[in-house]
Each structure stands twice: as C-alpha cells, then as structure tokens.
Structure 1
C-alpha cells in the first residue's frame, strides 16, 4: 500500500449530524484570521475537503472540520468547517463535535466538572462551556456570534409552488425560514425527500430574489440553507418546536442545527415570542434536541440582533486514517445525483472575492 495523502480522522456526531474532525495530516494553512484560512482552503486546498467528504471515502451527510492553530490569542484552537458543497463561517453541530474531540482525545486538557474553551471559527470567537465527567464531555453550551433578522414575511416566487412567505435570518449561516404546516408538512422522516427537493427550490428563489450580505463581512453573503419550521408549543413551561434544515446539495440536517436554532431564536425574538433568558428547545426531524436561549440583545450594523446560546452533546464514533492511493482513479472523489440531489462538479468552489459585490 502506498498513499500520497493521509489524514487522521476522528469520527464524531452531534445529536445525529456527522462532524468529523481531522487531527492529523493538515497542520496549518496561510491566513491572518480563521476566515482567511477558510478562504485559502476554499481557493487553494479544496481537494482536502473533497477527499474527506466526496465518495468513495465520504458521504453526502458528512461534514469535516480542520483544526489549524488559532490566530486570535484569546482562543485555544481554531477550526474551519467543510460541508458537502461549501465552507461555512459557523456551524453549531460542528462546533460541538470539535470541542468534544479536542477534549476527549487530549489535544486540549479537560478539567472536570467544567472546561471553558474559546475556539476561533471563521465567523469569530466562540465561547464553549463543556460539562465533563469521567473523561467524557456530557454537554456543550456555546455562545454563538450575534444573530439577526434580515427579512420578516418576505414574499418570494418559487418555481412550481408559486408565491410563499419566508423569513430570512442570520445565525452563523443565513436561512430562509418557512412555516412547514402552511406547505402541508409535519416534518416527519417519511417527508424527508420531498422536503429536500422543495427546500432547494426555496433556497434558490431566496438567493435570487432576496440578496443578503453580512453588514460586518460582505464575503458572508447569500442564503445558505432552508429551514422548515414546525409550530411553537410549550413543554413543561418551556418553548418547543420541531424543524428540519435542508443542507445543500439537498439533505436534511440530522441534528436540530445550531446556527439554524440561532436564526430561529432571532425570528422568535423579533416577533416578540421569546424573552431574554427564556429556554427554547429545538427538535430535529430525527427527534434529537438542542436547548437554547437569548442571552442578550445588541446591534449589528443597522440590524437589531441577539446573542444566542445553544447546547447539545456529541459522541465520538471512530478514529481512522483516510488515504489516497496514487493509482486511484478518484483522487478527489465524485458525486452522483441519486444521493447528492444537486450533483456537485469537481471544480474548485468559486472564490467569494470574485462573487462579492
């Protein structure tokens, strides 16, 4: 056996969503900030993401996290998040996976009963409070970057569906949020394929008809995902709702989605449906849950914003080496539309700098 690329990968999932962590094989990449490092990988090192996520080594429902050293002295470690079709500035489930792997594998020292971490995501610093017992991370509560609403009750035209109302909110990624019941969905597992197909259409319409750019970073732009929202209820005095987020190229997030939860908190607060400090439980299509709350309010550019706090748990599933044989015809992998709903070509992701405007 001879490999020309080798990675050590720790398999991990947060409430069902796979967020594998590369702990060996990629030490660092150029960049003055973690966002710069993300851009470098996006433009010059995308084969690393493809090797880990594309078939035959990966799967459409996997994410991968690279952990270069932090550029901010306040952070213990940095991380760059690679998803099926893109790099994202922030992901809650991946953050929980990264923190769990860093502590449970001993890369960072665990302190029981609580370890406080500061991690540097491309979106900015993320503070994580990790509850630990007997060498296991039992729960991670992270304070996200501010979330805010860009549009409430905006009308868009969706091909094959007509006019619908959506909210657009940023929670680390930017979401088109739509009421599931109004479109006839209960957010159950048997609806997953139909939700994915429609979710991709809604995202495409939102990207075209509702341009978005983050007020503090114009390279964070466009709607990233569609979130189907279930009705708001009360359970033991706490707010509860079901959801599913459709991740490109067309699959359901297996977890309740951390940045999607932050975005929905922003919408709930903007509508006066949740107060600062009140608990909101977000349930996924698989039945897993994240707890969340609005920690405080602030301004981001011209937007009223909230500081969201989200918590959940992750579990390590494997430790393995991933390699590429120099004679393998699929050096950087491939995708097929049978499972990758919108099949991804094998070209480098187009530069954000080229598309920012």
Structure 2
C-alpha cells in the first residue's frame, strides 16, 4: 500500500477506559510549552484531534493521547489528551495509559522493580512511579499536580432537580462534584445513561452560572466535567465522571479523584498520609493518597498520588489522506446524543 502519511497508535485501556497513545506520525504542534501546544489545538488547528477522536476512526467511549517531545528538560516525554470536545490538560487514566505505553514499548527504558517517568503536560510536571516486572507495568502511581477546592457547597438552580449543591475543585482540570442522590440516582451500570445525560445538563447550567480561571495556567478556564460522587458500604468512594457530549468515564477518574481528595482535605476529612479508594461505575479502582500540601495562587492545595493500572491490548496504523472524504471525522446523535451539534 502506498501511504504517504500515517499514524501509529498503541491501543491501551485503564480500568476499562480506552486511552490510545499516538506514538508515531503526528505532525509537529507549535508552541514553546505543552500548555501552548494544547491551546494551539483548541484555538487554531484541531484537525488532528478531530481525525483521531471522531468516526469513522473512533468511537464514543475513548480518548486519544498525543505523545510529543517534552518542552522542559526535567521530563522524559510529553503528552496532550485529545477528546471529542477539545484537548484537555491532564487525565489520570490517560496518564497511566501513556506511562504503560512508554515503558512496555521500550520508548522509555524500563527498570525493575520500579521505573520513574516524568511527564510534561499542559497542567504541569507529572512524576509517575511504575511498578515493573518481567517487562510489564504492574501499576502506576502518579504524583499529580497540586489540587485545590475552589468552592464548597456552591448552590445552583436547576429546572429538573431544584437547587442543588456542588463542590468546585481543580485536580488537573476543573470539576463540579455532585453527590449523586441530589439527582435522584445512584452510581450503577444500569444508570449510566441517566447519569451521562444529567451530567451534561448540569455542565451546561454550570457554564451559565459559574466561572473559573486557574490562577497560574492560562486557558484552563472552564469546568471540564461533572463528577457524581457516592459512598460505598465498605468506605470506598463511588465516582462517575460525565464527559461531553454524553457518556460516563469507565475508570475511577484520576483527576476527578484528585479533585475530590482536595475537597475532602478542604473539609478536614483527610490529612497528609491518608488514602481513599475511588471505585468506578463498573467496579475498577484507583487509590488516591494525600502525600503533601502546596500553595497555588492563594489556594491551599493537596498533592495527590493516584495509583492504578493499564493494559496494552493492540496496535493501530491509521492512513492520513486529503482524499479521505471523512478526514475531519463526524459525529451522529444516535451514539453521541442530542448534544452532538456542540462538537462541530
């Protein structure tokens, strides 16, 4: 086959959440920093993002991670999370996928029993501690960026559920965290459709009623996700992050777990050294640990460590051609829901 341009991807999932990794063939993204590169994708040229996240090459329940050379000397690699709505600065499950791909493919040398991988992201430097044995990553612990609560028990008006309370917190991106009983549901696989639609509805309401702006990072100025929260009988925290235009995260969500850890810290419910188990809608688990504190633009922040595991399950080779009638991808409401117009 005569292919002038192509992309090489490793197919990876973390606790069921797909986070493919582009390991070759991607065009150079302009920008002096990883944040500049993400903002370029979001504001100047999103053609690569659309190519890899929309049909006919992608499906609803997945992300794609763009692996790039680091822009800072203390990092081993850099990456940007690409999703159907936009490029995002950080994701715990995707970061675990990237570390696993780098090590198991040999792009970063694996050292047993532990390899430290430093990742340049738009949200800041992420230090990953990978437990390794016989060429495999058994688990990855991410020292995430400083995470902080911006508002606790913020009341918003909703047509469907009346006045509800949300916590606004940053864990690599901004989250609105909602106790799930406020929308008359619980976190269970049978409720995934309802929670996805409720989360997207709340996100739209929040965008009209609440503004955020990271005190240091330019361009991180929206509530990216609504995460529903519930308590499990064994003390674990049930999580269900909803993603635009209408699906739920299959993993326990690393940045969401970091944001919730920041909320618990702000409420005095955890101290440095405490651990909490985050359990997803399908039962996958991350461990969220408070390993220290920091200050970010006047906010007292907690330093989260998120531990989970990813699996490489395949490889993919995508042809890039200007003659492809769907090179910009497409999205239909049969799978994406009524919010599909927001993607165009």
Report the TM range for the smaller structure's normalisation.
Answer: over 0.9
Cα shift at 1:28: 3.1
Work out whether 1:260 is the aligned partner of 2:290.
no
In structure 1, the partner of 2:62 is 62
What is the TM-score normalised by the length of structure 2? 0.96
Aligned to 2:176: 176
SS in 1 for 2:340: coil
Partner of 1:205: 205
Give me the whole-angstrom Cα distance separating, in 1, the residues matched to 2:131 and 2:164: 42
CA distance in 1, matches of 2:320, 2:226: 34
Q: Is the 8 A contact 1:28 1:69 kept in 2?
A: no
SS of residue in 2 equivalent to 1:205: helix
Distance 1:278 1:287 in 2: 22
Alignment of 1:187-336 (within 5 A): 187-231=187-231, 235=234, 239-336=235-332
Q: Does 1:167 align with 2:203?
A: no
Alpha-carbon distance, 1:160 to partner: 2.6
Q: TM-score, normalised by structure 1?
A: 0.92
* Deviations 1:258-300, CA, capped at 9 Å, x for gaps: 0000000011111111121111000000100001111112221
CA drift at 1:29: 2.1
The count of aligned residue pairs is 343
Structure 2 CA distance for partners of 1:70 and 1:344, relative to 1, 3 Å: farther
Query: 1:352 corresponds to which residue?
Result: none
Offset at residue 201 of structure 1 (A): 1.1
Q: Which moved more, 1:312-321 or 1:293-302?
A: 293-302
Q: 2:340 aligns with which of 338, 343, 351?
A: 343
How far 1:4 moved relative to its partner? 5.5
Please provide the CA RMSD for this pair. Answer: 1.5
SS of 2:31 mapped into structure 1: coil
Q: Is the 8 A contact 1:2 1:325 kept in 2?
A: no
In the aligned structure 2, how far is the partner of 1:232 from the partner of 1:24? Answer: 42
Maintained 8 Å contact 1:159/1:201 = no
Measure the CA separation in 2 of the matches of 1:170 and 1:212.
10
Contact 2:15–2:251 (Cα < 8 Å) also in 1? yes
1:350 is matched with which residue? none
Q: SS at the partner of 1:78?
A: strand
Can you give the 5+ residue segments of structure 2 that lack an aligned partner in the other structure? Answer: none
Matched, 1:78 2:78: yes
Gap runs ≥5 in structure 1: 348-357
